[in-house]
Structure 1
Amino acid sequence: MNEKEQQLFEKLRDSDEAAFRIIYNNYSSKLYYFVFEFIPFRDAAENIVQDTFVTLWNRRKDLKDDTNLASYLFTGAKNNALYRLRDKKYRQKLFSNAMDVSELNLNTDALTTVDTSAFAFQEIEQIIQETLSILPPQCRKVFELSRLQEMKNKEIAQELNISVRTVEAHISKGLKAFKIALKDYLPLVAYLFVL
């Protein structure tokens, strides 16, 4: 965790609602896309994300100093999703035909193997930084604005004084590099590829 994230984490543990909202805003869409990879139903994925944040708030005082927030949240979302995928009534509600059930079983098996450890998130952060460092400067800037700051293509074009097509080309180039570099962690970084 960087210094800013550490401060947010400390404030969260002290029951600071503003810090919780910032954490929610930083992670909710990431968790949504992660869950949606395995449970491709909007309402279900949103409910799992909400439950994950409710758990975070309810257990905030029990978090240890060395807790990796990303790992904690993704592990919570993974466990919430697995709990639902293994519940017979929930499965029947989501999936009505045999094809859906076989897909469900594959998704459950795949989700079980996803590594949401603190080590995995440290590795992801390192790979992201290394990949950003090898991108050409303009491509790196566009990608950071698009995927890490979640700016729209038109906004990026205006800020950098380039065309929207140039922005799209830089994003495409960046995405290709990241898909290769992060191939072992794609479910955890799905948000990079869908925004």
Structure 2
Amino acid sequence: MQETKQIQTKKEFEQFFNTHHADLVRYAYKFVQRTDVASDIVQEAFVKLWEGRRHILANISLKAYLYKVVYNLSLNHIEQLKLRARHHDSIYTDLMEMEMDYYKDEKSLLQEERLESIRSMLNELPKGCYEVIDLSRFQGLKNKEIAQKLDVPVRTIETRIYRCISKLKELVKRAV
């Protein structure tokens, strides 16, 4: 059977199939790197050949035609994989952002609850303690700035902060 001869019968098609199938699978495998996918691609190429056998010109090489079809189908398969990968990456990125937003919101709610709990515990402390802790921890003032603001020595501020934190630790232990 010549390569440029049209395939007219099932027997001619089977003979052509048996002659070229294995080589075409190896050819497709070079692109897709999976035997099952390469085999599916070659199968699809042969289906295209059989369905279009009456429209294929008699002067073209059927072997060259099939190799070109297998090549194009392989590239299409690779492109589909790339599109799926980009789609999956996009979905993964979206999910990660949603998860981060969720936990950020949840974390800020937890932080707000903890802060509220600490503030209520601070209200149980003597007035001097609350004022020093508020200036130091919530307003971010340095011990020297607090001392100037309250017109007391820096050492007094350090002692008050230490005592307030110790009392706060006791309150936290009781709350837990």
Q: Give the TM-score range, shorter chain.
A: 0.3 to 0.5
Q: Could you state the TM-score of these two structures normalised by the residue count of structure 1?
A: 0.41
Larger RCO (alpha carbons 8 Å, 6+ apart):
1
Q: Could you state the TM-score of these two structures normalised by the residue count of structure 2?
A: 0.45
